[in-house]
Amino acid sequence: MSLTVTVASFDLVTIVHLSGELDHVNSDELRLRLATLGQELDQPRIVVDLARLDFCDATGLTAFVLAAHVAEGRGGWLRLEYPQPIVARLLELTGLRTLGDGSAAAARHPSGTA
């Protein structure tokens, strides 16, 4: 399965929606897209919506960490939200569930759920 990435901006927050599987085949593309967002925005505030992400391997996790460092280096943040149970477990096991925690408390999912 492939990865679909869509980006939407709401006020001062950029939402990156991921759908499909994130692995070694497509993680470089995502890493570049997230890094570009982080560099283009002043104080980037990026929420990565994982609600439709079915799978993520170590290369995907690396893309998230690198993008968070880019955002933080520019005075912003990157937060991972709405993971499916299998992805949530991976984030917990690797200590990445709290990546960016607290920074996007006011950001809401476009569907209206918090």
Residue ranges of domains in the chain, CATH in brackets: 3-48+60-94 (3.30.750.24)
Who contacts 65 (Cβ-Cβ below 8 Å, separation ≥6)? 96, 99
Tell me the C-alpha to C-alpha distance, in Å, between residue 114 and each of 7, 10, 41, 49, 107: 18, 15, 24, 12, 8
The rounded percent of the chain whose pLDDT value lies above 90 is 74
Read off the pLDDT band of 101 (50, 70, 90). low
Q: What's the alpha-carbon Rg for the chain, to the nearest Å?
A: 13
Interatomic CA distance for residues 71 and 53, integer angstroms: 22
Are 43 and 74 in contact by the 8 Å Cβ rule? The answer is yes
- pTM (2 d.p.): 0.84
Read off the pLDDT band of 96 (50, 70, 90). very high
- pLDDT of 103 > 70? The answer is no
- pLDDT of 43 > 50? The answer is yes
- pLDDT value at residue 39: 87
